[in-house]
Structure 1
């Protein structure tokens, strides 16, 4: 049995978090407060060329704060790229 691994681009997760914030008409500052983090902490994960990747725990915290399923931050299976 061969296990397949998928690669999720950090930029995709950041994009999906920004989309969800926009959909809910929330700001990055609001989300940072909900997470008990500094706005710069969140900004470094959402904006710029040198994104700091979210950890799995951080993604779960973001989903909980926004009241969404964590899967909204990941691409549908049809979009996933296989890792070699």
Structure 2
């Protein structure tokens, strides 16, 4: 398993959806606690939710995340 993203709940769910559209299995770490008490799972509550993918999907997932961050991919378009 490899961490592919860490951040706030809403953005993480957007990225998770984009990854799943590409048939990449995504695992969510701290999904519930990041919403309830983010400061408990990360210092200062900063980037509390972590998305992980299988090692063999990492490169493909990395491209999806980079495209999302650069504005090439948007949820709902």
TM-score range, shorter chain: 0.3 to 0.5
Give the structure, 1 or 2, with the largest relative contact order (CA under 8 Å, sep 6 or more).
1
Q: What TM-score results when the alignment is normalised by the length of structure 2?
A: 0.36
